[in-house]
Every structure is written in structure tokens, then in C-alpha cells.
Amino acid sequence: MTPPPSASDPKPSCEGCFFGRQRLCALELDAPCATFRPDSPEGLRPQRQLRFAFRMSDASPEPEPTPGPVRRMPARRTPLARPEQPMLVPGAFA
């Protein structure tokens, strides 16, 4: 997180801006714009972001255990007769 500005910190100005010093700024303003980034020897650095912290008290409950393997019915060995076709029985030819 970026520390709050103190009284000893210089006020932001276009002369202290990374974009102004690198001649990348096309704006002609009397005050620094919203894209002001302080110029430093390391170059342009992203602003520090807050760290994400997990709270265990707000965590969801333990998930339920998954069920075991699903038992399937054994495959049928004889074909089913269709209503439009009679089932043929071997040796029953007339």
C-alpha cells in the first residue's frame, strides 16, 4: 500500500512526473493530471496493491465427501422384442 503523503514530500508537479520528464505527456495543464506517476531512477513502477488475506472464520464449511463409485446394472444378454416385430423362437418354424 502506498504510504500517505507527508508534509516533507514535494507536491506533485509535471516536472516530477515520469511522463513529463520522458516527454510522453501531451497535456498542457497548470496542475498534475490523474495519470501523474513520480519519476524515479528505477523508472515507472506500478503502485503497490493491498495484499489479499483469507479469514478462516468466514471460510465455507468443509465439503461433504464424494460418494463412492456408481454400481451399474449388468448388461442384458438377450435382445428385447420390439412391438412391431414378433420374437422368433429357434425351432418354432411352421
* DSSP symbols for 12-31: P-GGGBHHHHTT------SS
On whether residue 46 sits in a domain, the answer given is no
For position 34, what pLDDT does the model report?
85
**Is residue 30 in some structural domain?**
yes
Q: How many CA atoms lie within 13 A of 23 on its CB side?
A: 0
| Structure-block grid coordinates of residue 39 | 519519476
C-alpha 20 chain-centroid distance: 35
For residue 48, tell me if it sits in a domain: no
Q: What is the pLDDT of residues 28-60, one digit of tens each?
A: 887 878 888 888 888 887 778 888 887 776 556
Name the pTM for this structure: 0.39
User: Is 69 inside a domain boundary?
Assistant: no
Residues 79-88 have pLDDT tens digits of: 665 566 666 6
Domain count of the chain? 1
Backbone angles phi, psi at 51, to 5 degrees: -85, 145
The range of the structural domain enclosing residue 17 comes to: 10-40
Residue 21 inside a domain? The answer is: yes
